[in-house]
Amino acid sequence: MGMYNKNRTMLPHDVLPSSIFIVLSDLESGARMNKFIGNEEYRENVVKKFDVLLAACEAERISTLLMCDIGCGVFQNDPTVVGECFGEALLKTTIPTEIVLTGHPKFKEAVQQKVNAHPQR
């Protein structure tokens, strides 16, 4: 396992010495998710998955989280919905982790809009 830059060149292991890799699987597939857009239960479950991710970052004292639009590629989840869910989870945490958003622009915009809507953060 390794981390690659945009040119698909593997980064040296010492670039991110305090990093852990967390894979969140089992997000609803895009075909199934289309039935759940707007469904609060679906959104709550996705937010819970992000809550677990952020709790792991806190427990491991992760200083930087490289967060992609998980589930929005092969599983075809809506990047806006996933971004809103991640933004909601961020609003509930106080960890001083730097978060770098990657992936679909709609994912990044949704996260930023959700967080920016609450200026106390």
Q: Is residue 66 part of a domain?
A: yes
For residue 49, give its domain range: 36-116
In the prediction, which pLDDT does 17 show?
Answer: 45
- Length of the chain, in residues: 121
Q: Determine the Cα–Cα distance for residues 25 and 12; give it in Å rounded to an integer.
A: 26
**One-letter identity of residue 35:** K
**One-letter identity of residue 26:** D
Predicted confidence (pLDDT) at residue 1 exceeds the cutoff of 60: no
pTM listed for this prediction: 0.72
CATH number for the domain spanning 80: value is: 3.40.220.10
Structure tokens at 90: 């961020």
Structural domains of the chain, count: 1
In the prediction, which pLDDT does 33 show?
Answer: 53
Q: Determine the Cα–Cα distance for residues 86 and 75; give it in Å rounded to an integer.
A: 17
Average per-residue pLDDT in the chain? Answer: 75
Give backbone dihedrals phi and psi of 27, rounded to 5 degrees, phi first. Answer: -70, 150
Q: Is residue 111 part of a domain?
A: yes
Q: Determine the Cα–Cα distance for residues 77 and 97; give it in Å rounded to an integer.
A: 26
More confident call, 95 vs 117: 117
Q: How confident is the model at residue 51 (pLDDT cuts 50, 70, 90)?
A: very high
Q: Is residue 57 part of a domain?
A: yes
User: Please, which residues have CB within 8 angstroms of residue 38's CB and are 6 or more apart in sequence?
Assistant: none
pLDDT tens, 3-37? 554 555 555 555 554 555 544 455 555 545 555 55
Q: Which of 10-14, 36-40, 106-110 holds the top average pLDDT?
A: 106-110
